[in-house]
Structure 1
C-alpha cells in the first residue's frame, strides 16, 4: 500500500474544481451499503474514469481479503467498512500480506474518528473518506492519487462551439481567451481545432510555420519541448496553437486524436480554450464532453435554438457530475431580422444566458480585417466588457492586474525539473 500525501487544491472554476482524468488503472471496490455502492457506480460512469477499468462488489474488507489471497491486486482498492476499528485494522493487516507493491488503498468509513484516520495512514492507506459522500468526492480522491506531490494546479479546458455555422463561435472563443489572458492575468492557450479552415491565425495576425497539425499527425514526437516549439506567442500570457488551414489532406481523425495534446496542455497551462469547429465527428464530440467547461454560441433564430437544445441535452446526459453548458447569444439585433427574444431562448433551453453580444458589423469587421481583438479596436466598449464577463464566468476570477509572467514559465520549469 502507498501512503497518502497532501495535495495542493486544484484550480477552481465557476462551478466546480478541476478534477484530472484518471490514467489507465484498475480499480476494485468492495462496498457494504447500497448507498456507497451507488456512489461508486456513478463515479465509475463519469467521463474522467473513461480510461480506468473498475469493478464493484459487495462484502467490504472481508471480501477483499478473500479475493486477493491468490490473485494479484489492482492499482486501487476501495474498501467500505461498517465494522469497528479493530476489525477494520485486522482486515487491513491481512490484506497487506497479499497486496502488490504500489497498490493504493482508499477506505470509506461511517465514523469521524481522528485516531482511526491516523492509524490507517500509518498503515499506508492513501485516504479515509466518511460516508455519506458525493460522486465528486470519490472522483477527486481517486484522481489526486495520481497527481504528483508538489505538482502545479491543473489547467481548465474550455470548449467553445457554435450551435450552427456562422454564429461567430470562433470570434467569441478568441476574444474570450484574450480577455482571460489580459484582463484576468491567466496564462492561456487557444487551440484551433479546425485544421482545414481555422481562422485563429488570421484573427491574431499570426502565420506560424507549425501548429496543431504537427501535434496531431506526429503524436509519437509530442512532448513539452515540441509543444513549446509549436505554440505561437500572441502576448506574454497568450499563445496560439494555430491550424494550417490548407487542404493537402483529409481529416478523418480517430476519436482520441487530440487526447495526448489535451493532457499535455492541461498539465502545463492554467487555461486552454478550444475553438471547436461546427461539425459532428467522434473527436469533436469527445472534445466537448471531456472539457471542463462547454460554451455554446448561438444566434437568436430557430436553427440555432434547435441545435443548441441538442448540444445542451447531450452535454447534460453525458456529464451528470459537471456544471451545465454555458450559453452565449451572439449577433443580437441584426437590422430587419426577426429574432427570438433572449428570455424565450433561455427558457426553451432551461439555461441562463451567460452573455448577450449585440451585432456590430463595423466593429467586428474592422477587428477581423486588422487581425485584432475587439478590445484592441474599441477598448471599454460594451462588447469588449461582455467578453470579460464571459471570461470571469468561465474561470471564476475577477479582473486582475497585468503581470510580466511568461506563458511559457510552467513548461520551462517542468523541463528544468526533468533535467
Structure 2
C-alpha cells in the first residue's frame, strides 16, 4: 500500500497561533489542492493562497473533504500537497486515508485538518506518514506555515526531482526527448517543471519551445555568487502555466569550459524550489557532465539502434552503475527506430548487451518530428493522440515516480517490436 512521506508535526495540544513576528519561508513552486468540508476552512485556504509567501504555489480549493479527494484522484495524478478537512473521528479518518493511499502518489505530502483534539489519532496519523495535523478552525497564516514547513523544516525532503537526459552519441534526438518529456510532466501531471538547457553553445530548447529569452543559464553559471532562488526565478522563461525554461545562450562568442562544480548552485537552487527539473545534458564528456549525471535522481539515456550507440550506452551505464551503487540503474530508450533501408540493431539485442530492456521505443517519424521542430512545438501539440505523444506521457510518469518502469515495459514492447520488425 502506498504510504505518505513522514514529516515531523507538532502535537495537537501544542498547536497555537504564532505571532506575526514568526518567520515563514516562501513556499516553493508546488501544486496544492485542498478538499474542505466547511466554508470557513475553504475561505482560510483561499486567503492563504493570496499570501505573498504563497505567490509561487498553484492552489486549488474544492469542497467535499476526503470523499471528494479519493474520487478526484482515481484517474488523475496527485499534486505535491493535499490538504484534507474532515469532521469525522478516529477510525473513520484512518479508513478514508487508507482508501486515499490506494490512489495517491507516494511523493505527495498530506495535511489533515481535523475538528477533534485527539492525541491518539495524531500519533496514528504520524505513524502512517501524514505530514501535518491541524485543528479547525484554521487561520490563513497557519495554512501558509504548514505548507512552508513541509519544504523548509530541517528534516524536510528536497522539493524537486532532478531528471537528466543525455544522448549515447550526438544526433540521437536526446534534446527532443528531454523537451517532450518535460512538456508531458507539466501538462499531463500538472507538476511545475523547469527545463534546463546545459548545451550553452548549441542548445535547442529555446527553438523547440518557440522562446527567445534575453537571459538564461549562462548568467547564473558565470555569476555563481549571485545564485539563489530569487535570481534563478528572474532567469526563467515561462512556456506554460507549469513549464518554465532556463535557456542556453546558443552562441559561440566564448568558450564554455567549466570546472566540475560549476552547475551545482543552479541545480541546488532549482531542486529547492521546483518539483521537477529536466536537465538537457549535451553529448560531451567532461568533469562537469559526469558530475551532473552522477548527481541526478533519475537518468534517461537516449540511443539510436546502431553500433556506436550500443557501445557508448554500455560504457555510460556501466560507469553510472559503479558511481551510483545505491541508486536505480539508468533507464534508456531507443529513438529513431525503423529508418527505411537502414540496418539496425534490434531492441532485443540491445537489451541483451545492456542487461536491461529499453523503457521506451520511439519509432522514426520524420514528418511528425520535423513539423514539430520547425513550428517550435511539442509532439503532443502537433498530434496529441499520436502513439509517440503517449510514449512521452508514459516516460514522464516513470521518471517522476508516478509509474513503475518494469510494469510499463512489460506487455508493451512485444507488440511494438513485432510491428517494427515484421516489415
Q: Normalising to structure 1: TM-score of the pair?
A: 0.60
Cα distance, 1:153 vs. partner?
4.6
Cα distance, 1:214 vs. partner?
0.1
SS in 1 for 2:7: coil
SS in 2 for 1:353: coil
Per the alignment, residue 206 of structure 1 pairs with 211
SS in 2 for 1:339: coil
Q: Is the 8 A contact 2:188 2:393 kept in 1?
A: yes
Q: Is the 8 A contact 2:161 2:271 kept in 1?
A: yes
Once residues 321 and 228 of structure 2 are traced to their aligned partners in structure 1, the CA distance between those partners, rounded to angstroms, is 33
**Residues 91-129 of structure 1 deviation map (CA, whole Å, 9 limit, x = unaligned):** xxxxxxxxxxxxxxxxxxxxxxxxxxxxxxxxxxxxxxx
Per the alignment, residue 7 of structure 2 pairs with 7
Per the alignment, residue 293 of structure 1 pairs with 298
Cα gap change, 1:149/1:349 in structure 2, threshold over 3 Å: closer, same or farther? same
Once residues 150 and 367 of structure 1 are traced to their aligned partners in structure 2, the CA distance between those partners, rounded to angstroms, is 43
Q: Is the 8 A contact 1:7 1:149 kept in 2?
A: no
Cα distance, 1:397 vs. partner?
1.6
Give the alignment partner of residue 269 of structure 1, picking from 267, 271, 274: 274
Give the alignment partner of residue 371 of structure 2, picking from 366, 370, 389: 366
SS in 1 for 2:362: strand
Specify the structure having the higher radius of gyration (Cα): 1
Per the alignment, residue 185 of structure 1 pairs with 190
Once residues 172 and 378 of structure 1 are traced to their aligned partners in structure 2, the CA distance between those partners, rounded to angstroms, is 16
SS in 2 for 1:283: helix
**Residues 197-229 of structure 1 deviation map (CA, whole Å, 9 limit, x = unaligned):** 000000000010000000100111111221111
Per the alignment, residue 289 of structure 2 pairs with 284
Matches of residues 229-268 of structure 1 in structure 2 within 5 Å? 229-268=234-273
Once residues 233 and 314 of structure 1 are traced to their aligned partners in structure 2, the CA distance between those partners, rounded to angstroms, is 35
Cα distance, 1:8 vs. partner?
6.2
Per the alignment, residue 219 of structure 1 pairs with 224
Once residues 152 and 163 of structure 1 are traced to their aligned partners in structure 2, the CA distance between those partners, rounded to angstroms, is 31
Once residues 328 and 310 of structure 1 are traced to their aligned partners in structure 2, the CA distance between those partners, rounded to angstroms, is 15
Cα distance, 1:297 vs. partner?
0.1
Q: Does 1:353 align with 2:352?
A: no
Q: Does 1:157 align with 2:186?
A: no
Per the alignment, residue 171 of structure 1 pairs with 176
Q: Does 1:306 align with 2:311?
A: yes
Question: Gaps spanning 5+ residues in structure 2: where?
Answer: 1-5, 10-150, 404-423
Q: Is the 8 A contact 2:334 2:360 kept in 1?
A: yes
Q: Does 1:316 align with 2:321?
A: yes
Per the alignment, residue 385 of structure 1 pairs with 390
Matches of residues 57-76 of structure 1 in structure 2 within 5 Å? none
Question: Gaps spanning 5+ residues in structure 1: where?
Answer: 1-5, 10-145, 399-419
Q: Is the 8 A contact 1:176 1:388 kept in 2?
A: yes
Q: Is the 8 A contact 1:167 1:298 kept in 2?
A: yes
Larger RCO of the pair (alpha carbons < 8 Å, separation 6+): 1
Once residues 268 and 186 of structure 1 are traced to their aligned partners in structure 2, the CA distance between those partners, rounded to angstroms, is 12
**Residues 339-364 of structure 1 deviation map (CA, whole Å, 9 limit, x = unaligned):** 11111101110112110000000000
SS in 2 for 1:396: coil
Per the alignment, residue 413 of structure 2 pairs with none
Cα distance, 1:152 vs. partner?
6.7
- Write out the 4+ residue segments of structure 1 that deviate beyond 4 Å after TM superposition: 149-153
Once residues 205 and 219 of structure 1 are traced to their aligned partners in structure 2, the CA distance between those partners, rounded to angstroms, is 28
Q: Is the 8 A contact 2:207 2:376 kept in 1?
A: yes
Q: Is the 8 A contact 2:307 2:345 kept in 1?
A: yes
Q: Does 1:332 align with 2:316?
A: no
Per the alignment, residue 25 of structure 1 pairs with none
SS in 1 for 2:241: coil
Once residues 157 and 252 of structure 1 are traced to their aligned partners in structure 2, the CA distance between those partners, rounded to angstroms, is 23
**Residues 352-389 of structure 1 deviation map (CA, whole Å, 9 limit, x = unaligned):** 21100000000000000000000000111000000011
